Structure 1
Amino acid sequence: MNSHLDRQAKSHGISLKRPSPDNVDVPITDETKQKILAVLAAGDLPQRLVKRRQSMDIPQAYLPDFLDRRRVWGISLQLYELRSERNWGIGDFEDLIEMIKVTQSLGADFVGLNPLHAPFMADPDRCSPYEPSNRQMLNPLYIAVDKVPGFRSSPELAKRLQELRRTDLVDYVGVAETKMWALRDIWQARQAFGRSADSSLSFNAFIKNGGEVLRRHALFETLSPFMRKHGYGAGWKTWPVVFQQADSAEVHSFADAHADIIRFHMWLQWLAHSQLTLAADVAKTAGLRIGLYLDLAVGEAVDGSATWSEPNAYISGATVGSPPDPFAIDGQDWHLAALHPAAIASGTNAPYLRMVGAAMRYAGAIRIDHVAALRRLFLVPLESSPDSGAYVEYPQDELLRILAESSAEFSCLVIGEDLGMLPEGLQDDLAKARVLSYRILSYEREDRGFKPADSYPRLSLACISTHDHQTLAGWWRGADIEARAEHKIVPPDISEEHVAERKRERKDLKDALDEAGTNPPARLPPNSASDEKLKDLIVSAHRFIAKTPSVLAAVRLADMTGQKRPTNIPGTSGDYPNWKPKLSVPLNELAALPLVKEIAGAMQDERGPKSDT
């Protein structure tokens, strides 16, 4: 090992060790140190941004006063999965308003949503909400087109919408083509009849407030389909070199020639903003004490709008991933771009400040995916394998300050997804900062079994499952184990171990529910039990999380409706339709489902009716 290189790496926040699958720290190589130093452009890295102060003075995030005396619950879902008789084959902001009304009728206080970040509109099948093109912008596919002034239907369109609604998977390509055609038609009609969207004072104010960030995103969205039409990809890394820089002469010339289309894409952002703002206002009027709970992805696509628009804010020579662990022995490369530690919190209009504000402006709560990124990220140099990566320190103090100040400005509480390998002391720092911990039932286990309900921390959100998990019924049947085996994510011998372990886990869960007094079924249901046979167990498990001291509890809509097809199977790509399955039940029938009513009743029994303030 090179001692000079070690000192240089440490002085720039690079960890000299990483975990192994056996949970033993192993040294990173000199080659890795040199690669990470190079991608950080170490000579330009301000030292104050990577040195974490050993201070007890941690700024505190906003926490509403009523949580001092009340514990509340809400429903989490994927917005795109909602079915309705009026949507266009994908859940939209008008469906969200209807879901808010359903949530209010069930006595819940928030609606939790997948990230609503902007995708690649020119490549709609790149649909993962956790690999967006730009986290500061919204997804135009969620616009309820029929609620846009000037919309006109036709028999041909009505027939196409029926086809899109009938599919069991979201047809992102068909939805995007149909919505964009209709929205362009509205835009062009308003232009032609002198009622241009340009004349809207609120639209002009939105453009002014969005500034260069909004303009460049709209420019990217104009260039992207143009490039696809000419044989390139939707992402900028495949474009001719002269178009890969947003400030090149060729890009300026293109922008001048396509000013109307650029303005159209800014209009789409304004429509999405207006409809999401309306949904947030409806939640407030309906009495939801938290309102909307929005998810914030950990990074952006390496070739998307964000990295093209602000290249100096991102690390260009490495991607975000995770080191080797027992479930991914070679480590993982998430192929996400990371904000540069020197830029992320720099300046009065820092990228992190803009990013969290873009979500908080609509929300009563935000969830930060992979909250460990407040202190460190595992960076994998391009063209390297994940086991050649290293942890890089981030300016935790500055990021917590931004979170605290922004949460106070927007009256928005903060939840941190603190799962997996966490740096020592991070959870303590987050608790001091009043960032809620994220507690999933299946993860809350010790050697003796599941942790008791009263052991959950008060400043936390408790839930049974998330978008990366099977429903509780699926977990009970071992559907997650079967899926990992089917898609060859784990070898057969490991799957056999997981099957044996699940048998013990089922018994442990039954014991924990018995101990908590949640009235589970008297006998342990078999792993092949039907939905009806598992109903009492599912309600009992929700009663368990309702009993926890956690100030928030989230009930997943997929658990309430008994979905068989998972939202996402981590480790798969083209061999499973991740982020596409729709609910099997239409929106207007949700509140009447027996399991929905029973779970809602259990949550209210343990957490109190909404009228009790």
Structure 2
Amino acid sequence: MMTSPLDRISRHHGLTLAYDDPEGGPMRPVPDETKRLILEGLHVDPEAEPEGHPAPERMTVPEEARCHLPGELSDAPAWGIFCQLYELRSARNWGIGDFADLAELARICATAGADFLGINPVHALFLADPDRRSPFFPSNRRFLNPLYIAPDRVPGAQNTEEARALRSGDLVDYPAVAEVKLRALRAAFDAQPPAGAHAKDFETFCAEGGTPLRLHALFEAISSRMAAEGHGAGWRDWPEEMRDPNSPQVAEMAERLAQDVAFHLWLQWIARLQLREAQEAALDAGMRIGLYLDVAVGEAPDGSSTWSGAAAELPGLAIGAPPDMFATEGQVWGLSAPSPVALESQDFAPFAEMIAAQLHDAGALRIDHAMALWQLFLVPEGESPARGTHLRFPFPDMLRTLSRLSREHEALVIGEDLGFVPAGFRDAMAEANILSYRILYFEQTERGFVSAAEYPVKALACLSTHDLPVLAGWWRGEDVELRREYGMVGPERSAADAAHRAEERADLVSKLRRDAGLEGAADIHSGTLPDAVLDAAHRFIARTPCLLTGVRLADLVGPEAPTNLPGTTDEYPNWRPRCPVDLDALPAHPVFARVTALMREERPRPAPKERT
């Protein structure tokens, strides 16, 4: 079959030319306009003949690309707890969970026998627009969100009546939290700038952060000024002369805002110190792994990373997902995509520096949409996802970089391999010692839920994640009802999904009786999840051969409200529900105590080694 010159050079540079129709029709061709846009972003002439090495067609795992995976996990598999950091409630925080809460929760979980504590991404978002709150839509993945700073651990930051009032809400009020916290922190910074040994440490931090840190701080300072003048917090809404960090106008603004820039540098320093203290608290309390951080798949197209050039992004394209049986129109996530050509030209420094920033204070890292190591589905901005296509990445080099950093930091790597997973990808992950991410709800075949013994060894098993309901919500079909309520599916599909959920409940109970010792009656028609089923579900995942097992804090103590409802933005209060139980009350909470006890029984922690 004859191919056009455009198709030949597209294939040479790793573009997919057609993809499956989710409804079983013929393959859907990729529009020529999309191919040209991507090729031009790669600095390739769409009319030229292919030159040089083609993009990899096989998932070759280099011999040296092996992530850190301590042998002791084979003898004593670990378990841990997941939560959303912002949801934590305590008598001392300011209406949002913070790094001091994280340290305290780490101690509580370690005492309960957990070896890790996983949280949502804590990347820098947009301080000038705090309602842009999704942790998976960051401004810059290399830096931290200062809203997680514990102000009461900062000398001079005054606890006000406003701060105390924010503690009582059931939803995080991000604008109010940002206003109160930043005001208090700025007053503390202005009154007591770093001095003596602290000044030297601060200077060292700034020097090590270099130009990327300085530009991020400058972005935040300008963003605040722009928002105050009626522009958006993101640089695409700024005046033209402010969109280039190298422009004379930006240089002039940097001089005028020097104290503001210093404040944002200081915020990053304080945030890093407090995150480090949380990791130290976890390890000192006996955890073998400690903090388990999460990294988003991309960055906002108008954030500090793209403004500064650190993102090395492809212009005019957004990351998404192809049409499939769950989303027949596909998805557009809106995140900017890195350029494989730019990554290669910089010896993968942007990728390495971003990963290293996560591993600096963590014992494990979850990579959201891990398939990005191999390919990304890219959609022209403003277009339907049906006009997108996959672009291949230099897989061997990405793995080499990731595994080297994993070994240097002695940190485990978990790849979120849900959704469209290319054939062979999970095998390649296992070969590279990247753990698979196995969710109970999804581990089904046409015969129903798979047995505990069928889970892979190199994996993390859990009941659900932030985009899915807690087990009690899944049991009563809350996700099915919400999809209907918010117009994501029609009444006919919703009725079919509800009927299928009843079948799933019956099959789950059957599997739990066989593999997890579930005894007694379990009314599958009841809208209330039996305690025995909750316990058996946790015992089930603990009995898989997976090296890691994760317990979701919300399954134990709430909130039962969904963390995030995919497909919505402001229609649903995504990333806002707070835990109804105070941290101090966790150890004595009956469900927390009961489930952590059975996890200790199923996966006992070995005698601690002396820390070096």
Q: TM-score normalized by structure 2?
A: 0.95
Given that 1:378 and 1:391 are in contact with CA atoms closer than 8 Å, whether structure 2 keeps it comes out as yes
Q: 1:38 is aligned with what amino acid?
A: E
3-state DSSP of counterpart to 1:175: helix
Q: Which residue number corresponds to residue 539 of structure 1? A: 535
Decide which of 176, 179, 184 is 1:177's aligned counterpart.
179
Q: Which residue number corresponds to residue 105 of structure 1? A: 111
Given that 2:156 and 2:187 are in contact with CA atoms closer than 8 Å, whether structure 1 keeps it comes out as no
Q: Which residue number corresponds to residue 603 of structure 2? A: 607
Quote the offset at 1:20 in angstroms: 2.3
Given that 1:345 and 1:353 are in contact with CA atoms closer than 8 Å, whether structure 2 keeps it comes out as no
Residues of 2 paired with 1:125 and 1:176: CA distance?
10
Given that 1:11 and 1:47 are in contact with CA atoms closer than 8 Å, whether structure 2 keeps it comes out as no
- Greater displacement, 115-124 / 318-327: 318-327
Decide which of 588, 593, 596 is 2:592's aligned counterpart.
596
Given that 1:74 and 1:553 are in contact with CA atoms closer than 8 Å, whether structure 2 keeps it comes out as yes
Quote the offset at 1:378 in angstroms: 0.4
Q: Which residue number corresponds to residue 240 of structure 2? A: 241
Q: 2:36 is aligned with what amino acid?
A: Q
Identity of aligned residues (%): 46
CA deviation digits over 1:569-613, x for unaligned, max 9?
Answer: 111111100000001111111111111111112211211245488
- CA change 1:34–1:107 in 2 (3 A) is same
Q: Which residue number corresponds to residue 75 of structure 1? A: 81
- CA change 1:228–1:521 in 2 (3 A) is farther
Quote the offset at 1:346 in angstroms: 4.1
Decide which of 39, 42, 48 is 1:40's aligned counterpart.
42
* Structure 1 position 577 matched with structure 2 position 582: no
Cα RMSD (Å): 1.9
Given that 2:293 and 2:366 are in contact with CA atoms closer than 8 Å, whether structure 1 keeps it comes out as yes
Decide which of 51, 54, 57 is 2:56's aligned counterpart.
51
CA deviation digits over 1:58-99, x for unaligned, max 9?
Answer: 410001231121111000000000000000000001001110
- CA change 1:33–1:344 in 2 (3 A) is same
3-state DSSP of counterpart to 1:306: helix
3-state DSSP of counterpart to 1:300: coil
Given that 2:89 and 2:582 are in contact with CA atoms closer than 8 Å, whether structure 1 keeps it comes out as yes
Residues of 1 paired with 2:176 and 2:392: CA distance?
43
CA deviation digits over 1:530-561, x for unaligned, max 9?
Answer: x5xx1110000000000000000000000011
Q: 2:340 is aligned with what amino acid?
A: P
- CA change 1:48–1:116 in 2 (3 A) is farther
Taking the TM superposition and a 5 Å limit, the aligned residue runs for 1:6-45 are 6-22=7-23, 25-43=27-45
Taking the TM superposition and a 5 Å limit, the aligned residue runs for 1:339-488 are 339-348=338-347, 350-488=349-487
CA deviation digits over 1:269-309, x for unaligned, max 9?
Answer: 00000010111111111110010000010011110011001
Given that 1:197 and 1:267 are in contact with CA atoms closer than 8 Å, whether structure 2 keeps it comes out as no
Decide which of 86, 111, 129 is 1:123's aligned counterpart.
129
- CA change 1:404–1:373 in 2 (3 A) is same
Given that 1:520 and 1:537 are in contact with CA atoms closer than 8 Å, whether structure 2 keeps it comes out as no
CA deviation digits over 1:210-238, x for unaligned, max 9?
Answer: 00000000000000011111111000001
3-state DSSP of counterpart to 1:378: strand
Q: 1:457 is aligned with what amino acid?
A: P
- CA change 1:466–1:188 in 2 (3 A) is same
Q: 1:132 is aligned with what amino acid?
A: P
Quote the offset at 1:425 in angstroms: 1.1
- CA change 1:349–1:448 in 2 (3 A) is closer
- CA change 1:349–1:215 in 2 (3 A) is farther
- CA change 1:149–1:162 in 2 (3 A) is closer
- CA change 1:311–1:103 in 2 (3 A) is closer
Q: Which residue number corresponds to residue 222 of structure 1? A: 221
List alignment gaps of at least 5 residues for structure 1: none
Quote the offset at 1:178 in angstroms: 0.6
Residues of 2 paired with 1:325 and 1:604: CA distance?
40
3-state DSSP of counterpart to 2:417: coil
Given that 1:198 and 1:204 are in contact with CA atoms closer than 8 Å, whether structure 2 keeps it comes out as no
* Structure 1 position 560 matched with structure 2 position 556: yes
Residues of 1 paired with 2:208 and 2:182: CA distance?
24
Quote the offset at 1:198 in angstroms: 9.7
- CA change 1:23–1:276 in 2 (3 A) is farther
Given that 1:343 and 1:350 are in contact with CA atoms closer than 8 Å, whether structure 2 keeps it comes out as no
- CA change 1:585–1:23 in 2 (3 A) is farther
3-state DSSP of counterpart to 1:228: helix
Quote the offset at 1:53 in angstroms: 6.2
- CA change 1:299–1:197 in 2 (3 A) is farther
* Structure 1 position 5 matched with structure 2 position 10: no
3-state DSSP of counterpart to 1:579: coil
Q: Which residue number corresponds to residue 157 of structure 2? A: 151
Residues of 1 paired with 2:178 and 2:197: CA distance?
23
Decide which of 119, 126, 136 is 2:142's aligned counterpart.
136
- CA change 1:467–1:199 in 2 (3 A) is closer
Given that 2:359 and 2:365 are in contact with CA atoms closer than 8 Å, whether structure 1 keeps it comes out as yes
Residues of 1 paired with 2:367 and 2:35: CA distance?
28
- CA change 1:180–1:160 in 2 (3 A) is same
Given that 2:462 and 2:551 are in contact with CA atoms closer than 8 Å, whether structure 1 keeps it comes out as yes
Residues of 2 paired with 1:357 and 1:585: CA distance?
34
Count the aligned residue pairs: 603
- CA change 1:250–1:287 in 2 (3 A) is same
Q: Which residue number corresponds to residue 544 of structure 2? A: 548
Quote the offset at 1:54 in angstroms: 6.1
Residues of 2 paired with 1:145 and 1:136: CA distance?
22
Quote the offset at 1:349 in angstroms: 6.4
CA deviation digits over 1:399-422, x for unaligned, max 9?
Answer: 100111000110001000011111
Q: Which residue number corresponds to residue 84 of structure 1? A: 90
Q: 1:20 is aligned with what amino acid?
A: D
Residues of 1 paired with 2:166 and 2:515: CA distance?
45
Quote the offset at 1:49 in angstroms: 8.3
Given that 1:510 and 1:524 are in contact with CA atoms closer than 8 Å, whether structure 2 keeps it comes out as no
Q: Which residue number corresponds to residue 490 of structure 2? A: 491
Residues of 2 paired with 1:495 and 1:331: CA distance?
19
Q: Which residue number corresponds to residue 66 of structure 2? A: 60
Residues of 2 paired with 1:546 and 1:461: CA distance?
10
Quote the offset at 1:2 in angstroms: 5.7
- CA change 1:396–1:583 in 2 (3 A) is same
Q: Which residue number corresponds to residue 164 of structure 1? A: 166
CA deviation digits over 1:85-130, x for unaligned, max 9?
Answer: 0000000010011101110121111000000100100000000000
Given that 1:73 and 1:553 are in contact with CA atoms closer than 8 Å, whether structure 2 keeps it comes out as yes
Quote the offset at 1:30 in angstroms: 2.3
3-state DSSP of counterpart to 1:178: helix
